Structure 1
Amino acid sequence: MSHSNNPCSRPHIALIPSSGMGHLTPFLRLAVSLTPHDVQITLITAHPTVSLAESDSLVQFSRAFPQVMHKHMLIPSISNNSNAKTYEDPFTVQYEAIRRSSHILSPLLSSLLPPVSAVITDMSLTSMVVPITKTLNLPNYILFTTCAKMLAIYAYYHKIAHNMETMKDDIPIPGLPPIPKKWLPPLLLSNSNNLLKTHFIENGENFVAANGVLVNTFEELEKETLAALNSGLIVGQLPPVISIGPLIPSALETGEELAWLNDQPCSSVLYICFGTRAAISRDQMREIGIGMVKSEYKFLWVVKGKQVDREDEDELQDIVGHSIFSELKQRGLLVNKWIKQEQILSHRAIGGFISHCGWNSVTEAVWYSIPILAWPQNADQKINADLVRKNMVGKWDESWGWGGRELVDGTEIAQKVEEMMEDKLLRGTAEKMRNKARLAVGLEGSSHKGLTKLIHSLS
């Protein structure tokens, strides 16, 4: 079925995110950045969501941007299915549930009025959505929600997946310096079948069938990798890779945390947050607590004891330990709910960020020039931490390994916090990168031009 467009009509773009705030947030930001252009936008999301943070964000977004049409795809659960092993990450299981619901998507896209001009799909749904859009004769762009270097790995992985265990220390990716194996999540290195590995292989193979790949990054942050991707060195048939980032945070609500921050001096507070998906062990929580007491810095700490926020019902003192809870409360603010991170990072009181290095967190820290102490927990986060270190917008101690594998001692945490908070050179480099990020999305910037060109091509 063909969807031809009247040349004078507004483009109608359907956005299809996958699962988890790390994937939903960039789609909401992309929708916001498209609204000033003369386009109609429909957001198609899986229902129910895995986390409360996702459903809350969607409700707030719909209130703030009623001009964006929102459609639900009702997803049957696969949690009882024998293939969805209990050890799998619940967000990865949700990707699989969405991928198995392709029969719902085709009639949904066909029913939208005015007819859809193009679809922008989350990278983790590529192998499901591309065949559907081909049948409907619709252009399909992939939104790659993490860095360009991870895109290079994702697009090439299917060619080397079967050799992973025989490779010694480094993974060779054409056009890029070798990538240490230990930077990839362990599930991608194993010989056993798992959903993450299956998704990487199937989606990576299908990237070549898309019309383009949009990446939430900008030229000055990843110049060499973007050039390698567009030169055909990494994957010969890869469609154009267009940097459109950083996708800009848009604050939709304010919270009680800001009242506390308003009373603190400029650049004096350390923000600690490991994202919506990483659950830190109780032992490690206590060591972080000891580190914060020893460092003597004020802090705002988002404490997360469980992988999915719907399960986080434990008392704060149980999670961080009763012995130091009263000392921590005197020094900082502990929060055990989802908060609007962009509002925290944009606050004048914040002077540093202990982060898991999820890509949204990295781009937000860059946007607000907040130095990062990187502590990757899983997924793409070591690749992101390396970019933080390479661009000198933060520090990364590789000896800390993947979060949860090693127990990092509180004294060492205090020492690293002090190094970062007192590093004036780091602060200066972070300022320079912030200016480059803002130029990239400005009127003459590379990311603004990339997005505008895409919209014009659809008109």
Structure 2
Amino acid sequence: MGEEAIVLYPAPPIGHLVSMVELGKTILSKNPSLSIHIILVPPPYQPESTATYISSVSSSFPSITFHHLPAVTPYSSSSTSRHHHESLLLEILCFSNPSVHRTLFSLSRNFNVRAMIIDFFCTAVLDITADFTFPVYFFYTSGAACLAFSFYLPTIDETTPGKNLKDIPTVHIPGVPPMKGSDMPKAVLERDDEVYDVFIMFGKQLSKSSGIIINTFDALENRAIKAITEELCFRNIYPIGPLIVNGRIEDRNDNKAVSCLNWLDSQPEKSVVFLCFGSLGLFSKEQVIEIAVGLEKSGQRFLWVVRNPPELEKTELDLKSLLPEGFLSRTEDKGMVVKSWAPQVPVLNHKAVGGFVTHCGWNSILEAVCAGVPMVAWPLYAEQRFNRVMIVDEIKIAISMNESETGFVSSTEVEKRVQEIIGECPVRERTMAMKNAAELALTETDCNSDG
């Protein structure tokens, strides 16, 4: 029948791809005789170059093969929509089904495909996997609480007819603290949104899979995991986390990475606040200036990753003209501002870092937990407001950055929260306890997975 293989199908955004690759590496570490085949759909927006990353993975892990699908043009590529990212992404994944089918057919002829593992966003592929005999599992790249929400969303939809989620004062989800409807993932806030019905359908499809692999661990989300198995009656859930990237191979010799870490070497222990907001985390010029003013007034040491504001996206990032006049020179003894990117995992694990201002992407949350760094939660898009409620109210490893009704955060708020997270805040001790629990979870996973 040929060599045994596992097929992985990630959503195109870099965070989803990297998580799926890490899953593939973990599977190989337990089953070295397997081959891993990763099906890649070209990203529909802001195409970050993944070529170097993919090349480095291929050279380091010969058992991992990438299959690049041809680009497709979705209907909405010429139109604008309120949730551009999700709708474009879902359309492209749906349009890619014929190419995925051909790839699976080819792989099934040459390998004994034991299973396929798909990203939640790739649910549309279930329409074609019925043609094959291998089981299909989900890999859910957010937390267990968010998975509980996805399971429960069809019920919320049925029991609140006509109401938009954002207008519901309090939403009750099994295993999750009560939260405002407006804290639900952005894509489902309004019923007339083009992707709302798709997410309802995805929620219904979850229980039809052979199982769900989730990047979390019991001590971090015990209540949500228990609710999924008991109240929502889905028992085939496999928490394998925390699964994080310990630094990409191609980043190690990056000049920017070296300069960030060298600067941190010269700072006192736990004295630096690290501000970083993910690959899609953008602020207006006005908000960037407000952050700068808040940081300067706080008197705290900081390492800040700044990206070009949307209104300046077609120009080269110029820190001097973007930031307040004289800011860089006035703060050069205490702060470092870097353009667009920093090596997040090595930075978080540096002894000089004592706090992390984050957009609440799940990967970033897990990286902070594993490093034992308390967070200031500043969500920007996707399910990040939901994640904020979890890490502030439920897990208690973060404090909240409070925004105005329009989403704007004042310099005074930035100043307060930055000072608070570096001080003796209660979440620091809780974060260290979670770091220890994460280390324990990984050793238990290793023990349970042998053979």
TM-score (norm 2): 0.88
Partner residue, 1:89: 84
Structure-2 separation of matches of 1:391 and 1:19? 29
The aligned counterpart of 1:213 is 212
Aligned to 2:304, the other structure's residue is in SS state: strand
Are the counterparts in 2 of residues 146 and 215 from structure 1 also a CA contact under 8 Å?
A: yes
Match of 2:93 in 1: 98
> 2 CA distance for matches of 1:290 and 1:270?
15
- Decide which of 119, 123, 133 is 1:122's aligned counterpart: 119
Gaps of 5+ in 1: 1-5
Equivalent residue letter for 2:204: E
How far apart are the structure 1 equivalents of 2:338 and 2:345? Answer: 15
Provide the rounded CA distance (Å) in 2 between the counterparts of 1:278 and 1:181. 22
Q: Is the 8 A contact 2:361 2:384 kept in 1?
A: yes
Q: Are positions 1:365 and 2:389 aligned together?
A: no
Name the aligned partner's letter for residue 219 of structure 2.
E
Q: In structure 2, the residue corresponding to 1:335 is in which secondary structure?
A: strand
Please point out which of 398, 412, 435 is paired with 1:394: 398
SS class of match (2:59): helix
**Which residue, 113, 116, 135 being the options, matches 2:131?**
135
1-side partners of 2:440 and 2:347: how far apart? 23
Aligned mates of 1:417, 1:433 — CA distance in 2: 21
Q: Which runs of 4+ in 1 moved over 6 A?
A: 307-310
User: CA offsets, 1:102-136, max 9 Å, x none?
Assistant: 0110110121232321111000111x122322221
Deviations 1:252-278 (A, max 9, x none): 222232222222222121110111112
Letter in 2 for 1:285: V
How far did 1:241 drift? 1.5
Alpha-carbon distance in 2 for matches of 1:421, 1:12: 47
Is the contact made by 2:270 and 2:353 (CA closer than 8 Å) also made in structure 1? yes
Which residue does 1:61 correspond to in 2?
57
Distance 1:369 1:309 in 2: 35
Does the CA contact (< 8 Å) of 2:8 and 2:39 recur in 1? yes
How has the CA–CA distance of structure 1 residues 190 and 360 changed in structure 2, closer, same or farther, with 3 Å as cutoff?
same
Match of 2:10 among 17, 37, 53: 17
**1:212 Cα deviation after fit:** 0.5
Q: What is the letter of the counterpart of residue 99 of structure 1?
A: C
1:24-39 aligned within 5 A:
24-38=17-31, 39=34
Change (3 A) 1:69 1:312: farther
Confirm or deny: 8 A CA contact 2:175 2:226 kept in the other structure. no
Greater shift in the superposed pair: 323-332 or 197-206? 323-332
* 1:3 corresponding residue in structure 2: none
Deviation by residue 1:33-67 (Cα, 9 ceiling, x = unmatched): 22212222111111256432544433333333233
Q: Which moved more, 1:15-24 or 1:300-309?
A: 300-309
Q: Deviations over 1:329-368 (max 9, x none)?
A: 4432212233331121122221110001100000000001
| Equivalent residue runs for 1:2-401 within 5 Å | 11-38=4-31, 39-47=34-42, 50=45, 51-52=47-48, 54-78=50-74, 81=77, 85-90=80-85, 92-112=87-107, 113-126=110-123, 128-161=124-157, 162-165=161-164, 168-174=168-174, 176-195=176-195, 197-231=196-230, 233-234=231-232, 236=233, 238=234, 240-251=236-247, 252=249, 253-254=251-252, 255-256=257-258, 257-306=260-309, 313-389=316-392, 390-397=394-401, 399-400=402-403
Greater displacement, 154-163 / 356-365: 154-163
Counterpart amino acid of residue 412 in structure 1? E
Is the 1:366–1:433 Cα contact (8 Å) retained in structure 2?
yes
CA contact (8 A) 2:140 2:147 kept: yes
Per the TM alignment, residue 312 of structure 1 is displaced from its structure 2 partner at its CA by 7.1
Distance in 1 of aligned mates of 2:188 and 2:36: 35
SS of the residue 1:135 aligns to: coil
Q: Is the 8 A contact 1:306 1:312 kept in 2?
A: no
CA offsets per residue over residues 383-404 of structure 1, 9 Å max, x none? 222222232222124x4268xx
Once the two structures are superposed, what CA deviation does each residue of 1:387-425 show, in whole Å capped at 9, x if it has no partner?
22232222124x4268xx332221221111111101254
CA distance in structure 2 between the aligned counterparts of 1:243 and 1:342, rounded to whole angstroms: 21
Superposed counterparts of 1:404-415, under 5 Å: 405-415=406-416
**Contact kept in structure 1, 2:74 and 2:95, CA below 8 Å:** no
**Shift in Å, 1:294:** 1.2
SS in 1 for 2:116: strand
Q: Out of 220-229 and 26-35, give the one that drifted further.
A: 26-35
Does the 8 A contact of 1:385 with 1:396 survive in 2?
yes
Moved more, 306-315 or 88-97: 306-315
Distance (whole Å) between structure 1 residues aligned to residue 26 and residue 223 of structure 2: 26
Q: How far apart, CA to CA, are the structure 2 residues paired with 1:202 and 1:313?
A: 42
Q: CA deviation at 1:12?
A: 1.2
Percent identity between the two aligned chains = 28
Report the aligned-residue RMSD: 2.6
**Structure 2 residue runs without a partner (length 5+):** none
Quick check: 90-99 or 136-145, which moved more? 90-99
Letter in 1 for 2:416: Q
Moved more, 25-34 or 366-375: 25-34
How many residues were matched structurally? 434
| Rounded Cα–Cα distance in structure 2 between residues aligned with 1:53 and 1:354 | 26
Residues 97/311 of structure 1: CA separation in 2 closer, same or farther (3 Å cut): farther
TM-score, with structure 1 as normaliser: 0.87
**Cα 1:72–1:85, aligned 2, differ >3 Å: closer, same or farther?**
same
- Contact (CA 8 Å) 2:355, 2:421: kept in 1 or not? yes
